[in-house]
């Protein structure tokens, strides 16, 4: 399943995630996955540098409905990324 953020969601900044411990701001384009395991892809800003097609994989702390709103409003058990 691949869910794309709408222009309205982007304007309301519902696609943005800030990972404080890594000082990383991700502006998501889409989320894909199933169950509790997902990947969010977009543009990341790390230490002032912008990275396109940046991906963060993550696992949710509990099961949720398979829609963007539910996925984005649920805490993560863990996450990982490479750049």
d(CA 48, CA 67): 31
Q: What is the mean pLDDT of residues 63-70?
A: 94
Q: How far apart are CA 63 and CA 71, in angstroms?
A: 9
Question: How crowded is residue 73: how many other Cβ atoms within 10 Å of its Cβ?
Answer: 9
Which pLDDT band, with edges at 50, 70 and 90, does 82 fall under?
Answer: confident
User: What percent of the chain stands above pLDDT 70?
Assistant: 99
Flag whether the pTM goes above 0.85.
yes
Which tens digit of pLDDT belongs to each residue from 32-59?
999 999 999 999 999 889 999 999 999 9
Question: What's the distance, Cα to Cα, between the start and end of the chain in Å?
Answer: 24
Question: Mean pLDDT score of the chain, rounded to an integer?
Answer: 95
In this prediction, residue 40 carries a pLDDT of 97
């Amino acid at each position: 399943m691949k869910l794309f953020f709408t222009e309205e969601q982007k304007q309301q900044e519902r696609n943005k995630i800030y990972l404080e411990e890594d000082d990383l701001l991700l502006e998501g384009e889409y989320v894909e996955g199933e169950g509790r395991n997902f990947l969010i892809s977009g543009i990341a800003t790390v230490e002032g540098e912008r990275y396109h097609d940046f991906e963060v994989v993550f696992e949710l702390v509990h099961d949720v409905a398979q829609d963007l709103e539910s996925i984005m409003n649920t805490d993560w058990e863990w996450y990982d990324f490479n750049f």
